[in-house]
Amino acid sequence: MVSSTLGQLGFQGETLRKALEDPKLDLNRLHEIANNFLELTKDFKPSQFGVESSYPGSKALLNFYVKTVLPTQLGSNQQVYALCPGWCATDMGVEGVPLSAAEGADTPVYLIELPFRKDDELNAKFFSKRAIQSY
């Protein structure tokens, strides 16, 4: 799943962060959070990237879907990752971004080329620059 480092908990407001840290988080609760998204992101404070709450908040929901819900639905030989390709130059971007699209593809290609087997050390983790990052 293509995510963003802006989806990490540290970029969220306290209300959304607390909701996502709930140890009882499951698919139903994640749906509730999504349905109450505007209310749960009212205390969001824009970062130095100048984005409003919808982009980082939606990526946080994706991250926690990958971390907590999706692994329970996978087959015995399947795994899932969330990953951040980095800020890449694309048709949707602006000039002066630090990475080319090819550089942004490095981590997704790295993960795709891993041996085809379930690896509990990697499954349901968040990656950036070929390394596991915190959610």
Q: What one-character-per-residue DSSP string does 34-49 give?
A: HHTHHHHTTT----TT
Token representation of residue 99: 């990475």
**Per-residue confidence (pLDDT) for residue 134, from 0 to 100:** 94
Q: pLDDT > 90: what percent of the chain?
A: 73
Task: Output 97 or 83, whichever has higher pLDDT.
Answer: 83
Is the pLDDT score of 108 beyond 90? yes
| Longest distance between any two alpha carbons in the chain, whole Å | 43
Mean pLDDT of 75-84: 93
**Per-residue confidence (pLDDT) for residue 125, from 0 to 100:** 97
The string of pLDDT tens digits covering residues 19-69 is 999 999 999 999 999 999 999 999 998 876 667 888 899 999 999 999 999
**Per-residue confidence (pLDDT) for residue 50, from 0 to 100:** 64
Domains and CATH numbers, the chain: 5-133 (3.40.50.720)
Task: Output 19 or 101, whichever has higher pLDDT.
Answer: 19
CB-hemisphere CA count at 13 Å for 113?
7
In sequence order, what E strands does 6-128 have? Answer: 81-84, 125-128
Task: Output 13 or 89, whichever has higher pLDDT.
Answer: 13
